[in-house]
Amino acid sequence: MFNILVTGSNGQVGSEIKALHGDYPYNFFFTDRSSLDITDAIAVEKFIEANNINAIINCAAYTAVDKAESDEANADAINHLAVKNFALTCKVPSGCKQKNIKLIHISTDYVFDGKNYKPYTEDDTTEPNGVYGKTKLDGEKALLHVSPANSIIIRTSWVYSSFGANFVKTMLRLGREKEQLGVIYDQVGTPTYARDLARAILDILPNIQNEKTEIYHYSNEGVLSWYDFAKEIMRMAKLDCQINPIETKEYPTPATRPHYSLLNKSKIKQEFGITIPYWKDSLDACLKSMGERR
């Protein structure tokens, strides 16, 4: 049996993998911070050996973007050092016949500064604006430095799901509570339905065969602002809440958000032959799963 460790299994992507796991012929080990401390290298190695893990899908992350600005040590431990632990555990020493462990690590558009004018490719220069982006980039660098075979990094953006806290759920709640909302229109990118990403991960897993760590980008298709996203959520859910466009400077936050987060997905589509859904179709599917589509 092919054994897969899924960390951060109570997060959005981890929860979606859990929801889909019955569709795939694998044996899954779903963990969270209470069942596996991924910042403890010895604990990670023991868990992997004891359960004969063949693949790791690292969905665990410190994602409190604003809180990270004053909590860098914890953000670094989860987003950087834990990734290094997985990389070292998966690395096969020279001359060793040990079977390679496949590793999929989820990263973010926040590794970029958001000043680009065309969709970011995997080779574009990284320049994070804040602690969250910096620690996620440090995690990428640690994995790239160790570079175990059959390991990949998937950068994604604007993740939402029927699980956990996210923009879609916030808009649904506020749309019922308020007559009007101001939503930022000068930050542009593409949302990612976590279920689409989870399915893509499970579909490409058997086909991961590379000698060193590779980076890929994944989000839904299309381009929009947070304002556009909010407008469509209200329209689909038939909520009578007026959405007004505001500038980023009107909604100051401790951490700086990238103004442009569009990701070029050509590489993952070409190399793995996957089709990525359009963002409106995915939002429709998510709202239906939540019973919110009207």
- SS3 call for 57: strand
Nearest to 277 by CA among 227, 237, 230, 219: 219
Structure tokens at 169: 């759920």
Amino acid at 85: N
At how many degrees (to 10) do helices 82-90 and 131-146 cross?
10
Cβ count within 10 A of residue 136: 31
Selecting among 62, 110, 120, 132, the annotated active-site residue is: 132
Clarify whether 132 is annotated catalytic.
yes
Cβ contact 196:282 at 8 Å: yes
Amino acid at 189: G
Determine which helix (DSSP H) or strand (DSSP E) holds 2, and give its type and residue range.
Answer: none
Nearest to 191 by CA among 163, 232, 152, 153: 232
Helices (H) and strands (E) in the chain, counts: 10, 12
Cβ contact 164:15 at 8 Å: yes
Query: Rounded CA gap, 153 and 83, in Å?
Result: 11
Contacts of 82 (CB under 8 A, 6+ apart): 38, 39, 44, 58, 60, 139
Q: Kindly list the catalytic residues.
A: 132
